[in-house]
Amino acid sequence: MAQGIPDKIMSNTALIKDLANVAKDAALLQGVLMRIHETPNSSELVTYAPFTLFPTPVPKAVFLQALAVQTHYNTLVDKISQDPGFLEEALASTIAVDDFTARLFRIHQQILKEGRSQSIVLGLNRSDYMLDQGEDGSSSLKQIEINTFAASFGGLASRTPDVHRHVLKVAGKLEESRRILDNNPAAGLAKAVAKAWELYGSERAVVMFLVEEGQRNIFDQRYIENELWKRNISTVRKRFDDVTKTGSLDQDKRLFVDDQEVAVVYFRNGYMPENYISEKTWDARLLMERSLAVKCPDISTHLAGTKKVQQVLASPGVLEKFFPDQPQVVEQIRATFTGLYTLDMGPEGEKTVAMALAAPDRFVLKPQREGGGNNIYGSEICQVLQGVKESTERTAYILMDKIHPTPVQNYLLRRDGPLKISNCLSELGVFGTYVRKGKDMVMNECAGHLLRTKSSEHSDGGVAAGVAVLDNPLLV
Ligand code: ADP
Ligand code: MG
């Protein structure tokens, strides 16, 4: 393991067993928690959120590169969200065949037609990367995707550094333990929410976390809630159903849910088609979008985070349109792009199809979905493309180069999981926050990081999907 944990520790079974127990207790003590699968809505039984026994080596230069580009990504997302012409053109082929994106797009258009009632915008993003391994052993930062909706694990990631520090100390690795970085996305995310709340300007109004039906990952959100309570900002947790039953707008379009005025709606649910169980759920989304409450994200920022938009951004000249006088910003962002290819009808899309069919292992085929487990790999790419290649259905997908990070050995600790050494791949996320009021960017910050690691057996899937686990970078 390059500059990581020496083999004599990694292969010492008795020591690893002891360290795993130490690590799990440390995670429980630090509050790296999740509710259990069986009872997602009860805190009577909780467990540690899955995590790695050891931190993972990450080259310092690429880590700093990821932090440095974040505020530019924030600006980019925000600019896209304010460019209806761009969104319409970028998403035209996709919304013709993808019902979910089309539905979101219709809300976006309706809001544009009615006029946005709130000029304050709150963005809490997470840009995710893998470090692509070059033939010379170098690694380059390549973006997997940007999440503009419900980017999670900022709360728990604020508590994992102390867990790894402790494990390393017990393992006799004091020097490495000192190299684990502080990280506090919970505070950073809350700072931006607090700013939006303050600009909304009503002491009585609350921050509403719009949460899932099954709330296994509640503690991740509680950290952000607690940071807001520390600032004497009230938070409430509501589901779509609560909004359906009790939500209303007054004559000034102020949003009330259960008789409380809502200053900020922070969506932690609503990014998957399954989240919209009926027309009433869609009505609730529309009600919130129409309201004076600050939405995180608003509907246009939600659309700015689609995979189709990501692909269009990689086309020649597109970034330049958003940053006409800032070639160095364009360069900084573009350096993090890997190959992204359109499947739109026409010669370019034909080329993409042929390329993917000829070498499917080089690519990932992605539909417009979030939450892990939706992407298509290897021979399945051929199966799917053979089925849709002659029809517009193919435009529901984008094609992307597969990124190859260097595998690193580690132990993945999860409840009921066997303690065994795994070949692992990591994904680095960087949190970005911004608040805009009208034309003024009043805040634009990088708010910390998240490292997630999974066994290389799995091509896809995040922590919530039960595949990846929480980790920390050990800068080398
Ligand atoms: P989701 O919105 O479901 O999180 P992602 O684009 O983040 O979709 O993909 C899910 C997972 O698939 C990632 O966490 C990563 O493990 C893997 N993945 C996605 N794109 C690539 C890629 N280009 N190369 C290698 N792995 C990828
Ligand atoms: Mg992802």
Could you confirm whether 126 is annotated as catalytic? yes
Range of the domain at 108: 7-338+403-475
| Length of the chain counted residue by residue | 476
pLDDT of 2 strictly over 70:
no
Q: Which protein residue has the closest C-alpha to ligand 1 atom 4? A: 372
pLDDT in the model for residue 127: 98
* Residue at 97 is within a domain: yes
Mean pLDDT on 262-280:
97
133-143: pLDDT as tens digits: 999 989 999 99
Whether 208 maps to a domain, the answer reads yes
Is pLDDT at 373 greater than 80 in this prediction? Answer: yes
DSSP 321-341: HHSTT-HHHHHHHHTT---EE
Mean pLDDT for the stretch of residues 407-411: 97
Same domain flag for 317 and 397: no
In a domain, 1, yes or no: no
Instruction: Let me know whether 246 and 149 are in one domain.
Output: yes
Are 266 and 362 in a shared domain?
no
**Residues 364/377, Cβ–Cβ less than 8 Å:** yes
Q: Is residue 237 scored above 90 in pLDDT?
A: yes
Annotated catalytic residue, options 452, 454, 462, 472: 452
**Residue 89: beta bridge partners?**
none
User: Given pLDDT bands bounded at 50, 70 and 90, which one contains residue 461?
Assistant: confident
Average pLDDT score over the chain = 96
Nearest to 377, CA basis, from 395, 400, 350: 400
Tell me, letter by letter, the H, E, C secondary structure of 41-77. Answer: CCCCCEEECCEECCCEEECHHHHHHHHHHHHHHHHHH
Q: Is 228 helix (H, G, I), strand (E, B) or coil?
A: helix
Could you give the percent of the chain with pLDDT greater than 90?
Answer: 95
Beta carbons within 8 Å of 181's beta carbon, 6+ residues apart = 161, 449, 472, 473, 475
Does the annotation count 472 as an active-site position?
Answer: no
- 443: closest CA among 77, 121, 76? 121
Specify the DSSP element, H or E, that contains 263.
strand 260-267
Site residues for ligand 1, CB cut-off 6 Å? 128, 130, 144-145, 364, 366, 370-372, 374-375, 400-403, 427, 460, 462
Query: In sequence order, which ranges of 123-257 are alpha helices (DSSP H)?
Result: 160-170, 174-178, 185-200, 218-230, 240-246
Q: Is residue 375 part of a domain?
A: yes
Q: Are residues 303 and 388 in the same domain?
A: no
Whether 75 is in a domain gets the answer yes
pLDDT band at 372 (very low <50, low <70, confident <90, very high): confident
pLDDT band per the 50, 70, 90 thresholds, residue 238: very high
Statement to judge: residues 287 and 343 lie in one domain: no
Name the nearest CA neighbour of 146 among 309, 335, 330: 309
Residue in 310, 311, 374, 375 to alter for ligand 1 test, most ligand atoms within 8 A of Cβ: 375
Say which of 225, 227, 370, 427 is annotated catalytic: 370
Whether residue 283 sits in one domain with residue 368: no
Q: Is the preceding omega at residue 297 within 30 degrees of 0, hence cis?
A: yes
Residues 237, 362, 371, 445: which is the catalytic one?
371
Within-domain flag for 288? yes
Cα 427 to averaged position of ligand 2 atoms, centre (Å): 9
In a domain, 373, yes or no: yes
Checking if the pLDDT of 4 tops 80, the result is no
The pLDDT tens digits for 414-451 are 998 999 999 999 999 999 999 999 999 999 999 999 99
Residues 469 and 434 both lie in one domain = yes
The number of domains in the chain is 2
Helix, strand, coil abundance in the chain, percent, nearest 5: 40, 25, 35
Rounded to whole angstroms, the Cα distance separating 251 from 233 reads 25
| Range 319-326 average pLDDT | 98
Rounded distance between C-alpha atoms, residue 383 and residue 329, angstroms: 39
Alpha carbons 382 and 380: distance in angstroms, whole number: 5
Q: 476 near 2, Cβ under 8 Å? A: yes
| pLDDT band at 1; cut points 50, 70, 90 | very low
Supply φ then ψ for residue 48, to 5 degrees. Answer: -75, 145
Q: Which residues of 136-157 are buried (b: 16+ CB within 10 A; e: fewer)?
A: eeebbbbbbbbbbbbbbbbbbb
**Mean pLDDT across 20-41:** 97
Which residue, 380, 402, 424, sits at the end of a domain? Answer: 402
* 213: annotated active-site residue: no
**220 and 238 together in one domain:** yes
Could you give the angle at the alpha carbon of 188 between the alpha carbons of 104 and 443, nearest 5°? 70
Q: Residue 425 CA: which ligand 1 atom is closest? A: 16
Q: What's the rounded mean pLDDT across residues 292-298?
A: 98
Pairing mode of beta strands 294-296, 260-267: parallel
Considering the domain architecture, whether residues 94 and 159 belong to the same structural domain is answered as yes
Whether the predicted pLDDT of 96 surpasses 90: yes
> At residue 271, does pLDDT exceed 90?
yes
Six token digits for residue 469: 């686990």
**pLDDT for position 3:** 62
Q: Is 230 a catalytic residue?
A: no
- Do the beta carbons of residue 56 and residue 410 sit within 8 Å? yes
Q: How far is it, in rounded angstroms, from Cα 439 to Cα 444?
A: 13
User: Burial of 178 by CB count in 10 Å (0-12 exposed, 13-18 middle, 19+ buried)?
Assistant: exposed
Name the domain boundary from 387, 402, 417. Answer: 402
379: CATH: 3.30.1490.50
Instruction: Note the pLDDT tens digit of each residue in 153-178.
Output: 999 999 999 999 999 999 999 999 99
Residues 50 and 78 in one domain: yes
Q: Quick one: 361 and 380 in the same domain?
A: yes
pLDDT over threshold 60, residue 231: yes
Q: Does residue 2 lie in a domain region? A: no
The number of beta carbons lying within 10 Å of the beta carbon of residue 359 is 10
Shared domain for 51 and 76, answered yes or no, is yes
Of the candidates 4, 74, 123, 126, the residue annotated as catalytic is 126
The residue out of 371, 402, 433 marking a domain boundary is 402
Our CA dihedral for 11, 17, 18, 22, rounded to 10 degrees, sits at 110
